[in-house]
Amino acid sequence: MTAKLIKGTEIREEILKEIEAEVKRIQEERGVVPGLVTILVGENPASVSYVTAKIKTAKALGFKEIQDNQPETTSEEDLLALVDKYNKDDTIHGILVQLPLPKHIDEKKVLNAIDPDKDVDGFHPVNVGRLMIGGSEVKFPPCTPAGIQEMIVRAGVETSGAEVVVVGRSNIVGKPIANMLLQKGPGANATVTVVHTRTKDLAAHCKRADILIVAAGVPGLVKPEWIKPGACVIDVGVNRVGEKISEKTGKKIAILKGDVDFDAAKEIAGWITPVPGGVGPMTITMLMKNTLNSLKFKLGLM
């Protein structure tokens, strides 16, 4: 193996320690803690496990936390009223409506109803606009792209002037990370290309990348010969390709595979993120950071 592993599991611990210390300091000096509410409609097993992990992390950091689970049959009107209740709650600084929502609810309408100053997911059009402008305008960068940027910076990979190729153009990962890395500023200043399903020669673009970010949702899409020797490869793919029994718990767990052929790519890349244990753990971490920052904005500390 030649590539250095960028482990999200380790970077997460560093960042969570920083957040915990700041929460303590603010609580001592100002008598308030960050408040996060997660709203889950229905019982999609993956969503239940995500929101439970989010709430558990918030609690461990000393946040006020509310896990507000609603039945699958909840109406759009009731959900909008619930969002409004938390918009008005001064002890809540972050509102997260877990996606996907049931089909009878208009996702866009619900996300747009969240107060942009409590939108710690960064999905509200106001926050998407703030991200596009960049600099001090940005309040809540979406959590997965923010995690990717942290990993690149903390691994010591130079972004300024780097050729970045992003595979995938989703609103949650591809478009925001491309936008963040091309901004003027530290951890950015890159030359960015976004490639997608209609791109003519995917391999040719990937081969040019100093930093290759893959968020396509296609297991093993990126072949080792597409990787420039010494490049930094960030694999955002979390593809469930089967099930196995966990050695730790004896329970059935998903077998996860990234979008990059890891075993071959690690012999060519300079840095690489594993799946699992790479980008995945960073998303919840950055959600905590956004929630802390929401309180800091409110207190005039940012």
User: Which residues are part of the catalytic machinery?
Assistant: 54, 98, 121
Residue 97 or 232: the one with the smaller Cβ distance to ligand GUN is 97
- Amino acid at site 186: P
Residue 65 or 121: the one with the smaller Cβ distance to ligand GUN is 121
Q: Compute the least distance from the CB of residue 224 to ligand GUN, in Å.
A: 29
Q: Compute the least distance from the CB of residue 136 to ligand GUN, in Å.
A: 24
Alpha-carbon distance values, 192 to 58, 141, 147, 216 (Å): 34, 18, 18, 17
Residue 264, SS3? helix
Q: Compute the least distance from the CB of residue 171 to ligand GUN, in Å.
A: 11
Q: Which residues bind ligand GUN (CB under 6 A)?
A: 96-99, 121, 143, 283
Residue 84 has which token pair? Answer: 């409004």
Which residues 6+ apart lie within 8 Å of 78 measured at CB? 70
Q: Compute the least distance from the CB of residue 236 to ligand GUN, in Å.
A: 12
Q: Compute the least distance from the CB of residue 205 to ligand GUN, in Å.
A: 27
Residue nearest to ligand GUN (CB): 99
Q: What is the DSSP string of 129-193?
A: HHHHH-GGG-S---HHHHHHHHHHHHTT---TT-EEEEE---TTTHHHHHHHHHSSSTT---EEE
Reference 171, options 120, 212, 124; nearest CA is 124
CB-based contact 189:159 (threshold 8 Å): yes
Residue 184 has which token pair? Answer: 């003027």
